[in-house]
């Protein structure tokens, strides 16, 4: 059961306080929590009196705990957050998430452009978005300013986690550069072939004709095999190299 639902309950109140403080909750906010578990974070979010808190929990064994929290501005859904989240509106996400869904959750967050997100997840994915040359680093930073609030040791959870975690906030940028907009476009088109994703991202971002954008792509001399593949199927190092080459247009 633990493995199936990644259940590691937070037991460090200072981490919860930090997550809440950095989410700047107001009575206008619709907040979403993924995996409330027994409700340790849920309770603290409710104390800040948001307009609404929507909590999505997959495991019905937590129903009795969560029912105890029942109040008018709390809406609890039982089900898989990855299925439910795409059709919900929210202003902010605050969650100690099940680590197994980190990457899929980031995709949904980027698609929905949620203004402020405070997440606790494995440090490895944090390194992906900030240090390592991965597509995630480009995708996330095209939309958000990323801040590491704290590194949280495995012993802060019950049962303890094997890996260290990162408490991270993503704050949507106030201004986007043309390059940011190009990368956001590329992300939205990641299920298309590289050639189409590049073509339409350049057309949209630089307001070019298709003919002009095609000529531009041809000049890069990318391998025809790569151009046929979907962006999601291309290796990180190739995606990064392509992005870095195209970046010169935006300088």
Residue ranges binding ligand SAH (CB under 6 A):
5-10, 34-37, 40-41, 56-59, 62, 80-82, 96, 98, 101
Q: Which residue is nearest to ligand SAH (CB)?
A: 35
Question: Which residues have C-beta within 8 Å of that of residue 91, sequence separation ≥ 6?
Answer: 28, 29, 30, 31, 114, 115, 116
Count CB atoms within 10 A of the CB of residue 51.
13
In this complex, which beta carbon is closest to ligand SAH, that of residue 54 or of residue 101? Answer: 101
- Tell me the CB-side half-sphere exposure of residue 104, using CA atoms within 13 A: 13
**Minimum distance from CB of 50 to ligand SAH (Å)?**
16
Name the percent of the chain in helix, strand, coil, to the closest 5. Answer: 50, 20, 30
User: Closest CB to ligand SAH among 105 and 199?
Assistant: 105
At residue 134, φ and ψ (nearest 5 deg) are -130, 165
Q: Between the CA of residue 189 and those of 99, 122, 186, 196, 236, what are the distances in Å?
A: 25, 27, 5, 8, 16
- Cβ nearer to ligand SAH, comparing 58 with 167: 58
Shortest separation between residue 233's beta carbon and ligand SAH, angstroms: 25
In the bound complex, what is the minimum distance in angstroms from residue 161's beta carbon to ligand SAH? 10
> 67 burial class (0-12, 13-18, 19+ CB within 10 angstroms)?
exposed
Distance in Å, CB of 13 to ligand SAH, minimum: 11
Q: To the nearest whole angstrom, how small is the minimum distance from the Cβ of residue 119 to ligand SAH?
A: 11
Decide: 219 and 178 in contact? Cβ < 8 Å. Answer: no
């Amino acid at each position: 059961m633990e493995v199936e639902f990644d259940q590691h309950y937070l037991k460090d109140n200072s981490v919860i306080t930090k997550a809440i403080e950095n989410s700047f909750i107001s009575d206008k906010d619709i907040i979403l929590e993924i995996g409330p578990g027994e409700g340790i974070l849920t309770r603290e979010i409710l104390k800040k009196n948001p307009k609404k808190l929507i909590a999505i929990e997959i495991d019905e064994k937590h129903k009795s705990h969560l029912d105890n929290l029942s109040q008018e501005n709390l809406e609890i859904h039982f089900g898989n957050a990855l299925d439910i989240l795409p059709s919900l509106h929210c202003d902010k996400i605050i969650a100690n998430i099940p680590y197994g869904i980190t990457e899929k959750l980031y995709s949904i967050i980027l698609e929905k452009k949620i203004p402020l997100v405070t997440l606790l997840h494995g440090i490895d994915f944090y390194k992906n978005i900030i240090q390592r040359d991965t597509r995630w680093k480009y995708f996330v930073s095209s939309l958000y300013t990323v801040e590491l609030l704290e590194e949280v040791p495995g012993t802060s959870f019950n049962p303890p986690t094997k890996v260290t975690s990162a408490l991270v906030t993503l704050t949507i940028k106030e201004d986007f550069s043309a390059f940011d907009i190009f990368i956001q476009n590329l992300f939205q088109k990641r299920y298309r072939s590289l050639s189409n994703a590049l073509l339409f991202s350049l057309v949209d971002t630089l307001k070019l004709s298709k003919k002009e954008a095609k000529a531009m792509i041809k000049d890069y001399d990318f391998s025809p095999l790569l151009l046929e593949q979907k962006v999601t199927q291309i290796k990180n190092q190739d995606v990064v190299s392509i992005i870095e080459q195209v970046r010169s247009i935006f300088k």
